[in-house]
Copies of this chain bind each other. A is one copy, B any other.
Amino acid sequence: MVDWQGLSGLLFDMDWLFLVGTAAFSVSGYLIGVKKRFDLLGVLIVALLTAIGGGVIRDILLNRIPVIFFDASSVWVITATLLVSWAMSLHKVYGVGMYRVFIVADSIGLIAFSLAGAELGIHYGLNFFGVLFVGFVTAIGGGIVRDMMVNDVPFILHKDVYGTVSMLVAGLLYAANSLGWKGAAVIWSLFALGLAIRLIAHWRDFRLPQV
């Protein structure tokens, strides 16, 4: 059984969600790397950063050596995703249908990693703010670093409710935990809720107001 970045002990049965999320994050890095006309290594770095950056930053914040340095199973998922993307020239055949699949996969990753990060934060005894922060960073940190690196203003700063949903499920997990509600049922409920909000918000193009 694959131990996704050491999280499966906490969130059992969610392995395939992390797999889907990791693959989606790799694809999003791949597409940006190709669009920016980086060379092979550049595309690889950007895709890797997107997919593992959040987990690495989470581990730095939690004061431990990145789990991926001891269990590299997600590196294999990323490598396989990149090979397939490259073999099928994904950036050329990328159309509306594929975009829809990508959004669903990416949203699965967003919610699964937010919940996993928040769970870990609770496990470390962090306060509400810390749990929110760690959940958010686990899910979105890789994308932020990628955007900073390729000189885009991070998408999270001006793009729909992506980050809000991440914080929402992390915050709700903290609240549930404080009330003594724990276990798989709580996590799966929050997962379903978060995924629904994210997808509905995306398709209705809901945006947060500007100040």
Contacts and interface: CB of A to CB of B under 8 A. Distances in A.
Interface of A: 33-34, 36-43, 45-46, 56, 60-66, 68-72, 75, 86, 91, 121, 124-130, 133-134, 144, 148-154, 156-158, 161, 163-164, 207-211
Contacts of A156: 41-42, 45
Nearest to A57: B60
B66 A61 contact: yes
Contacts of A91: 211
B65 A124 contact: yes
Contacts of A61: 56, 60, 65-66, 69
Nearest 8 interchain pairs by C-beta = A69-B130, A42-B157, A39-B208, A72-B129, A69-B126, A38-B157, A40-B208, A63-B65
Given A157-B45, A157-B46, A129 B211 contact: no
Given A46-B157, A69-B130, A72-B128, A207 B60 contact: no
